[in-house]
Structures are given as C-alpha cells and as structure tokens.
Amino acid sequence: MTGATPAPAAVADTAPDAPLFHRRRELFVPTAHTRGPWDPGAMHGGAPTALLAQHLDGLAGERRLARMTFEFLGPVPIAPVRVTASILKPGRNFQLLEGTLSDTTGRPLVLARAVALAPGMVSGLGADAALPSLQPAPSPPQDGVLSPFPAAPGGEEEEGMHRTGMELRYLSGSVNENGPALAWLRLVRNLVDAEAPVPAARVCAAADFGNGISRVVGFDTHVFVNTDLTITLLREPVGPWVLLDATTHIDASGVGWAASDLHDAQGPIGQSHQTLFVRAR
C-alpha cells in the first residue's frame, strides 16, 4: 500500500552478501535489499510476505500450504519488525493458520491467513484436472533477458528487493515495456541471516512482482501498489526459480488487479492475485 513512510529506525545493512533480514532476539531487522520501488524508506511486499510464509510453514508441519493470503495495512517501513504466527483451526488433514507482522510498538503492518492441507494420493484424474502447462513450454531461466528495475522515486539507492534481492529474467516483456510479461524470478539471498527460504517463502517473494512486471501504466506516471496478495498452490515449487505468467487490468476508477500463473521448471504450481490501488502521480 502507498502513503507516507516513517523514517527507518537505523541505517539498513547494504552489504552485498546481506540477507533480507537479520534476527535480533525477537525482532527481524530488514536490510536495504528489502527496499521496494515506490519509496526508499519502505519494503517491497515480497520481503514481509516471505518472512510470514516462513513462519506459517513452520507451523504446518507435514501439511502443505495450499493457500496464503496477505493483507497490507499500509507501507511497511524499513525498520525492525516482529512476527507472530498461530494455528486458528487445528486438524490432521486441514489447518487454518494466521500470522501478523507488526512494528516495535505492536502496530500491525501485514496480516496473513493460510490453509495447510495434508498431502495424499488421488487417482483417476484426467489430463485437464491440474493447471495446463504453457504451450509452447517456456525456455529455461538462462535464456531469459535480465531487465533490472529502476531505483525508488526520490532515491538513488542501488539496493532493493527489485534490484539486488531478486534476479529477474524475462522471456517476454521487460521492465521498459507495458503489458503482460513472462518472467523467471529467483531470490538471490538468504531470508534471515544464514536461514534459506522455504519453498512457500520463495513463491511469495516472486509472486508479489506480478503487478510490477505486467504493469499497464508507467512507474513515472502512476502509483499502482497492491493492497493484498493471495497465492494458491497445487504443489510446492522445485528449485530456486519461479516463473510468472502475469497480466494486469486497471479500471478508470483507480481499481485494478494483477493475476499470475505460477510455474517452476517442472510445470505449473499455482496462481496468485493482487488487488491494486492506482493513482496518477
């Protein structure tokens, strides 16, 4: 979500090998690699959602996160945050989980709910029961074109989730073009200190880029931030790369949405959806 952002509590770590967050007792301190494209003092949505997903995944145990929904209550400043997560509805086959990312005063910044389901075996499914694979099959990430995002407006910072936190390789579209895009994304650093992200966290980090890579208006002329992110997964991704087949639609009233089909190197894994708040600059 957009708006005025409180000044960071301290200078964020800009080291090239820094993770997204450092753990300091019960707090998670973001580094400059969490910065978003709208405000040099605010995080990209992929960073806090990945942190929440990491905690929710820990509660799920042997179950798999089949649906995750994140509600942004405002901009998430580059400042220390707390994360809490709990099981709302326990169960052997189905659990409902919730999580909150808040600032050091306890003010909620991002709310999360997730459905965790026990995996099983289902036979007799037709060929069209799962998500259809892209035709023709997408090229591998190494065939994609690197297309780095610009720095946040009002800042010349090199570091950012969209610049140094993720690697983006476009198979179609680019950061300089409006319209649908097909792009591979990979989180290139650890999530918390030496802790690698779980598959669900990697999906969150990538899926929040859907509106950015498939925008239909310019970064220099409009603000088009997502107020939420919902991800549904048929299975966990395999490998570090997530492919987004992303499209954005915007109404003249200033409401829009971005939808992405999600794939890994083995085929489709799920879908994501973002509601957009759109305004001219």
pLDDT for residue 176: 87
Q: Does some domain include residue 182? A: yes
201-253 pLDDT, tens digit each: 999 999 999 999 999 998 889 999 999 999 999 999 999 999 999 999 999 99
Q: Does some domain include residue 268? A: yes
28 closest CA partner among 40, 41, 37, 19: 19
pTM beyond 0.85, yes or no: yes
Q: Does some domain include residue 125? A: no
Beta-strand ranges (E) seen in the chain are: 21-24, 27-30, 64-72, 81-89, 94-103, 108-117, 145-146, 166-172, 181-187, 222-226, 228-233, 241-250, 255-264, 267-280
Q: Does some domain include residue 65? A: yes
Q: Quick one: the chain helix, strand, coil %, rounded to 5? A: 15, 40, 45
pLDDT for residue 153: 62
**Into how many domains does the chain fold?**
1
Q: How far apart are CA 182 and CA 200, in angstroms?
A: 20
Domain with 163, as residue range(s), is 21-119+138-280
Q: Does some domain include residue 127? A: no
pLDDT bracket for residue 4 (50, 70, 90): very low
Dihedral pair phi/psi, residue 22, rounded to 5°: -105, 140
- C-alpha angle 14-20-23 in degrees, rounded to nearest 5: 100
pLDDT for residue 129: 78
pLDDT for residue 8: 42
Q: Does some domain include residue 192? A: yes
Structure token pair of residue 229? 């992110």
Question: Does pLDDT of 5 surpass 60?
Answer: no
CATH number for the domain including 29?
Answer: 2.40.160.210
33-81 pLDDT, tens digit each: 999 988 889 999 999 999 999 999 999 999 999 999 999 999 999 999 9
Q: How many CB atoms lie within 10 A of CB 94?
A: 13
The answer for residues whose C-beta is within 8 angstroms of residue 265's C-beta and 6 or more apart is 140, 238, 239, 241
Q: Does some domain include residue 105? A: yes
Q: How far apart are CA 48 and CA 36, in angstroms?
A: 11
